[in-house]
Structure 1
């Protein structure tokens, strides 16, 4: 395959322009056709038959010993015969790059059957007897094939094929071929291509298959015959307007497809499909179908697997292909096909554009996720042509900025930030591999309910979220809340895998939620006006974490009170200024405040009272419902007052109520309006309760000596 530099040198602008489609990219087929065209130009060059060759099929044989067995035939005289010159009837040689077009191999991917071309690829380490049989079959099978015979009857050089067929009936000739092959191999097995050279003129040279048009046309017709007879069709072809060229032409209906989208078994694409009439539903011309099949190498290079599915992320440039766009696209595809690294196509595109400082506004991606059930039967979902590099890239940047620089996860006072961070949790620290996390789906694997990937299905919300982010489609907030809450409940319930309340998980989920809500991305949606504030970007202040010695000492109000007020008002879902269904916003804020008090008092019980069971354990997330929240609030405040009186006795004049910055607000939101009449749904209620618990557990002065030890005991590190 040509390097990008060699490709550009081999195909100047004007020459390349003649090879490119004249219409804008508008479908998956258009992308596949362009990929196939670029691949063909880079491997076998231009020309009528170039797209029919399959150089990669025997690519591993190039420059290996004994990799080409050539049967040499002289038909320049009155009767066809084997060569009797110094080289002999059979030549065992090395298959080289310079011979690729001369040998003109066209693979037929079938368990049993000969290749489309007269050149045939043997199996790995075939023994001499098998190779001798394959050599004879160049005459006995290929030259006598029905399709090949039909070509011979019509083609001006068809007599060459007929002479080979005549030799197939000469047992002496066949025995001579067998003896020559086995003698040349010396009893050794090898992996090789088997082909012929033919001398057609008395004083001429022996010609390769690529130099004989009749051989190439027969190869072409053999391959085309498979495009109309697949899946038991007799002749799925007819005259129609091709979906790629837009021209009236003979079209075929059962051509192969790099993604198996349009085969007869894919009934979800064409319900009730009559395989004989498939060309009407999906008309593609013969040559275009072959070119599409050649896209396979580049298509496969732009895929990766996650959640039991295969994700296609195929780059292309918006609009009609031009030489400039084709050079840029070929560079991306070449790097994808030859790069041995673990980067996803998204990361490679980002690296390429960053290094070359290329304008990416016209760069698009076809995105889909495919789940195979059995051979040639796939589920296809999440399909879009509007994927952009900006969505996963900006999400990665936004998440890093959020946990690095905003007041939600950082503090410049002597009090902790609202939510904890932890270097052992990927979503709670800046991560240079965040783009990989987003593009592979690991980003959602860490926060959504866990599933067995071996039993993955098309309804897996992790897959839906991944495809949405890759394509820039918004995710329903209801899906996120349901997944978040289920994961929290599972982790809090499973004592064998997780210890304590999963505060780092909740903080990770909230960081993800805020990142998806970024106003530049708008990756969250809802039809419920009560949940609309959750989809809005928070307005946290941005600042970096200073050294502990540089943290200023507050003067005036209690830092915990200021921190809570700032966090609530900067979080649209909790803010008292929410203008959508204000009652639900107040209820959500009440759930958060209750969780904050439970987390605050629970931490006090654990670290000051040395209790093994705390309020956090007593009121797990799964126990929180509209009908119970009033009772939980009353009991938690009662417990708070008990500890307040206890500390007053021990310390004398204890000012106010313990955690009064939470208690005062909680009374206003829960105890005055009766929770029995609340409208907030359960997942919404539980998630913000869990967020509150996380907040409360992290609500204390900075302690540089104990902080690391304390946080690691709160729950098992991720």
Structure 2
């Protein structure tokens, strides 16, 4: 590697800030070229434009395998008398082992989507067939990709002829001599016979690359195709033509390159990215093109760009993580800057510190991809927040680049793509800046879990225990959890009767239930609070039903789930991404950190939460609070049929709330009268407020939806279960069981 490689890579970046995944793909092609230049296997000059079309890792499964490389030797040292290598010098062909060090030299260009009749782009091809086939003796239409048609087919193709017309000198001699060899029937028969002499019989199966080593005019050295520019140029021409001729008519035209912004011949024949804007897609705008077949109008790309896009799929795969059920998330870091704004040192820093680390991380379930991604997110957030750039996790490379790291991080963005594979593969969302919104939500969430409600005197302080949940606690690292969908999947369910979120979206689904709110967040579309509350209730009902079937000694109520939802919905409201036009608001104000007693704490909680600003809302919440208080007492007294079991979350409606209120108040009075040593005066904070608010209007006239009513009821229960003494109050000593599950 030389410093000139960095200069070349930077100079080939875009002159504008990447504005689509296509620009990201082009940038990745430059990182891939730079990576190739660093390899000790690339010890010869290889034009970047040619490398962009090659696929050096396409058949990596053959590395080190015996009999995995078939090499034909063509002596063109005298271009007027081309011949195969004589027997005394080793014969015209050998079967050897394909190694990782050979991957650039062989100059192999593999089709992105291989079919049984795949196109030979490069003179090096791949075949897994019997020896009879590879010897070139099969005479039907399927007998391609063999040692003879390297000369009779590839070297005599229209693409080789077109390149031949544009060159002279030694390059012209090379192509002409290869063609002449292909026309020499005796030489081709000798080649087939020599190959069959190397195998046990004609039925022996061979899985190998087939290539040609050439002794160039006036030279004594044997060169592989990748080392010969004119052969790479034929490959490039053939692959470029394929980008405009396959499956579509009029796939190219004169236009402006979508990525390069240059006026030139452009094509729409690329395979697209993630199945989007592929060559088989037709015109979507009526009357713009009456023929409906000019694919280049939809997404015009210069041919070099189209080649980069064609190879980007395999590059992007190294930056992806399977999420189960055919779901895959791509996290694609890139430099959000113009090439004129990127210093060579910044390019090296990004390649080494970010690109290479994430590319090389194992994306398996037990791999390092998750931790690596989380480390990068944390470092980006730390630098962007102007925190101290030096910490214990820095590597020697970080220290070496410390002078530029903080400024360079400002140019880093993470594109995020969520794809569900199937027939067809579908992208449910993509964004060029997926991490920033997730970081903002993480900060908002930590602001909520660090607020007075979770502080020392707060109602949810250690209730439930922070370590029992990934959404509770202080200073949580949530970015990866958000991007992977767990942040919303933990708190919501699409229906009350099944776990649909674990299912793969069907062919007709327009969204992925498990990731729809991640899409909202990352694409800056507001999250509908109506459907969010509905799915909150679905989750609570399923959780509560599961707990009703478990006899684990805890109160059968999903308090932890409610508190997680409380933190989440207020974090979303704080961030400003929640659409509450049709629901109660979820604003909250700063509350004091200390309270005189539980009455003051309840008053402050209600006063500082927008969702509890109306009489109806307060009535439902305080009813739930009283149910929680009584159920805690019942659990302490080993009463199995608690009020929570009698009046579960989904029982409460506008039609049943009067009945429930009456029964709860009667039971509260009964316990107060029966317990001589227990004061129920503390519950008056609920009963007094409940009576006042419940009588202010007929519940049938409330504007609350059923989901709002049931969620406020759940929040009240969670509050009541946690409403134990702030201090050792004389009038009441409690040691009540808590529901931590």
| Counterpart secondary structure, 1:135 | coil
Gaps of 5+ in 1: 1-5, 544-553, 577-584
1:60 Cα deviation after fit: 4.7
1:120-157 Cα distance to aligned partner (Å, 9 max, x none): 1334xx66555544323322332244433444455434
Residue 536 of structure 2 aligns to a residue in which SS?
Answer: helix
Query: Contact 1:228 / 1:235 at 8 angstroms: preserved in 2?
Result: yes
2:58 is the alignment partner of 1:57 = yes
Residues 192-591 of structure 1 correspond to what in structure 2 (within 5 A)? 192-201=208-217, 204-230=220-246, 232-266=247-281, 276-306=293-323, 308-321=326-339, 322-324=341-343, 326-331=347-352, 332-340=354-362, 341-343=368-370, 346-351=373-378, 353=380, 355=394, 356=398, 358-359=406-407, 360-374=409-423, 377-387=424-434, 389-396=435-442, 398-400=444-446, 402-403=448-449, 405-412=450-457, 417=461, 419-421=463-465, 423-429=467-473, 434-449=478-493, 450-456=499-505, 457-470=509-522, 473-494=525-546, 500-518=556-574, 521-528=575-582, 531-532=584-585, 534=586, 536-540=587-591, 559-574=597-612, 576=613, 585-591=614-620
SS in 2 for 1:255: coil
Match of 2:192 among 178, 190, 198: 178
In 1, distance between residues paired with 2:511 and 2:282? 19
TM-score normalised according to structure 1 size: 0.83
Output aligned runs, 1:123-162, within 5 Å. 123=128, 128-129=131-132, 131-133=134-136, 134-156=146-168, 157-158=171-172, 160-162=174-176
- Residues 64, 540 of structure 1: CA spacing in aligned structure 2 closer, same or farther, 3 A cutoff? farther
Instruction: Report the Cα offset of residue 211 of structure 1.
Output: 4.2
Change over 3 Å in CA distance of 1:83–1:418 after alignment to 2: closer
Q: Name the SS for the 2:293 alignment partner.
A: helix
**Aligned CA-pair RMSD:** 3.5
The 3-state SS of whatever aligns with 1:347 is: helix
2:684 is aligned, of 656, 660, 673, to 660
Equivalent position SS for 2:270 = coil
**Aligned residue runs from structure 1 range 707-718, under 5 A:** 710-711=737-738, 714=739, 717=741
Go from structure 1 to structure 2 and tell me whether the alpha carbon gap of 1:203 and 1:35 turns closer, same or farther (over 3 Å shift): closer
Asked whether the 8 Å contact 2:71–2:211 carries over to 1, the reply is yes
Whether the aligned pair in 2 keeps the contact of 1:419 and 1:695 (CA below 8 Å) is no
Distance 2:174 2:460 in 1: 87
Task: Give a deviation string over 1:50-74, Cα, whole Å, max 9, x none.
Answer: 2111112134545666543321112
Quote the offset at 1:482 in angstroms: 1.5
Q: Specify whether residues 19 and 362 from structure 1 end up closer, same or farther in structure 2 by C-alpha distance, changes over 3 A only.
A: closer
TM-score (norm 2): 0.80
The separation in 2 between residues aligned to 1:170 and 1:11, in whole angstroms, is 43
1:122 to 2:127 alignment: yes
In 2, Cα distance between equivalents of 1:657 and 1:178: 101
Measure the CA separation in 1 of the matches of 2:548 and 2:522: 35
Cα distance in 2 for partners of 1:90, 1:542 equals 84
CA drift at 1:347? 1.9
d(CA) in 2 for partners of 1:210 and 1:275? 39
Structure-2 separation of matches of 1:174 and 1:254 = 36
- TM-superposed CA distance for 1:249, in Å, is 0.8
The answer to whether residue 121 in structure 2 is matched with residue 107 in structure 1 is no
State whether residues 454 and 461 of structure 2, in contact with CA within 8 Å, keep that contact through their aligned partners in structure 1: yes
Tell me if the contact between 2:283 and 2:294 (Cα under 8 Å) persists in the aligned partners.
no
Question: Could you tell me whether the CA contact under 8 Å between 2:622 and 2:716 is conserved in 1?
Answer: yes
- Establish whether residue 164 from structure 1 lines up as the match of residue 168 from structure 2: no
Are the structure 2 counterparts of residues 692 and 265 from structure 1 closer, same or farther at C-alpha, using a change threshold of 3 Å? farther
Give the superposition deviation at 1:183: 4.6
1:252–1:283 contact (8 Å) kept in structure 2: yes
Distance 1:174 1:540 in 2: 89
Once the two structures are overlaid, the 10-residue window that deviates more, 437-446 or 304-313, is 304-313
Q: Which sits farther off after the overlay, 587-596 or 361-370?
A: 361-370
What displacement does 1:266 show? 4.9
Q: 1:674 aligns with which of 672, 677, 698?
A: 698
Which residue number in structure 2 is paired with residue 547 of structure 1? none
- How far did 1:655 drift? 5.7
Q: C-alpha deviations, 1:400-431, integer Å up to 9, x for none? A: 5644x443234349x97495335333323458
C-alpha deviation, 1:239, in angstroms: 0.9
CA distance in 2, matches of 1:451, 1:333: 36
Structure 1 residue 346: Cα displacement: 4.6
Give the secondary-structure state (helix, strand or coil) at the position aligned to 1:227: helix
Q: What SS class does the counterpart of residue 343 from structure 1 fall into? A: helix
* SS at 2:370 equivalent: coil
